[in-house]
Amino acid sequence: MAGHSKWHNIKRRKESQDAKRAKIFTKLSKEIFAAVREGGTDPQTNLRLRMALTKARAENIPNDNIERTIKKAAGDTGGVQYEEITYEGYGPGGAAVFVQALTDNKNRSAADIRHAFTKHGGNLGEDGCVSFLFDKKGQLLISKTSDIDEEELMLAAIEAGADECEAEDDYFYILTAPEEFEHVKKALENDYHFSKAEVTMIPQTNAELTDEHAEKMLKLIDALEDNDDVQSVYHNFKISDEQYDRVVNG
């Protein structure tokens, strides 16, 4: 596998860790809140909540914060209502961009997201214009360590129902069908620690951009991820370490 042909590019952008964590906490708290309002407080029967809790714990969000959010959502019968919306479009150079948002004001979100696309050389498109370029998959990332036997891990993952298990850079990447994600995760979680475990969107092909377009694309991704209403940003933009250094560090 060359580069990150099937996987998300590892983020290389340098950003304030405190600010980044605050954003993550806000987004995951909203997801937990919406999951509870939709399906109740029991993660055993509420798959959406179970997956939100998995993400929250992977990001080391304190249990007290999680419990407060669940209690607030369970007790708030007439408060804020979040609506799930997806946006699709093209970044500079034609890279595909798929955005998932969770908002209490869809007009505000649509305006802000359209502005981000326009400002950074992209175009917000119609529903369905790029979603067909992505596959919905369960993804499990496990950091490579000296005590992990690669062949043993891959065999265990495939036997549990994974579609693919490959080693690349510093991680083992395991892909599953969305409906098999929970089963594979449970089969492996007693023996392995996941750096990330989520159902995500994997691009079928990648877009390589000129330096000019790559710089704008990085700014577009940053602008979208910085929006509190945006939960996830998926794209098929592929950038090498060398190109990243050129466009970011000059």
Q: Where in the chain is the domain with CATH 1.10.10.200?
A: 17-75
pLDDT above 60: residue 6:
no
Pick the CATH number of 83-132+205-249 from 3.40.50.1820, 3.30.70.980, 3.30.420.40, 3.40.50.720: 3.30.70.980
* Chain region(s) in the chain for CATH 3.30.70.980: 83-132+205-249, 140-203
In the CATH scheme, what architecture does the domain 140-203 have?
2-Layer Sandwich (3.30)
Looking at per-residue pLDDT, the higher value among 169 and 2 belongs to: 169
The 10s digit of each residue's pLDDT in 165-176 is 998 878 899 999
Closest by CA position to 176, among listed 141, 137, 135: 137
Strand boundaries in the chain, DSSP class E = 83-90, 96-103, 123-124, 134-143, 164-168, 171-176, 196-203, 230-235
Q: Are 53 and 66 in contact (CB under 8 A)?
A: yes
Considering only residues 232 and 10, tell me which one the structure prediction assigns the higher pLDDT. Answer: 232
- For domain 17-75, say whether CATH 1.10.390.10 is its number: no
Question: Helix 47-58 vs helix 181-188: angle between axes, to the nearest 10 degrees?
Answer: 50
Q: Residue 16: which residues within 8 A CB-CB, separation 6 or more?
A: none
Provide the residue count of the chain. 250
Residue, of 28 and 81, whose pLDDT is higher? 28
pLDDT value, residue 3: 34
Poorest-pLDDT segment among 96-100, 211-215, 244-248: 244-248
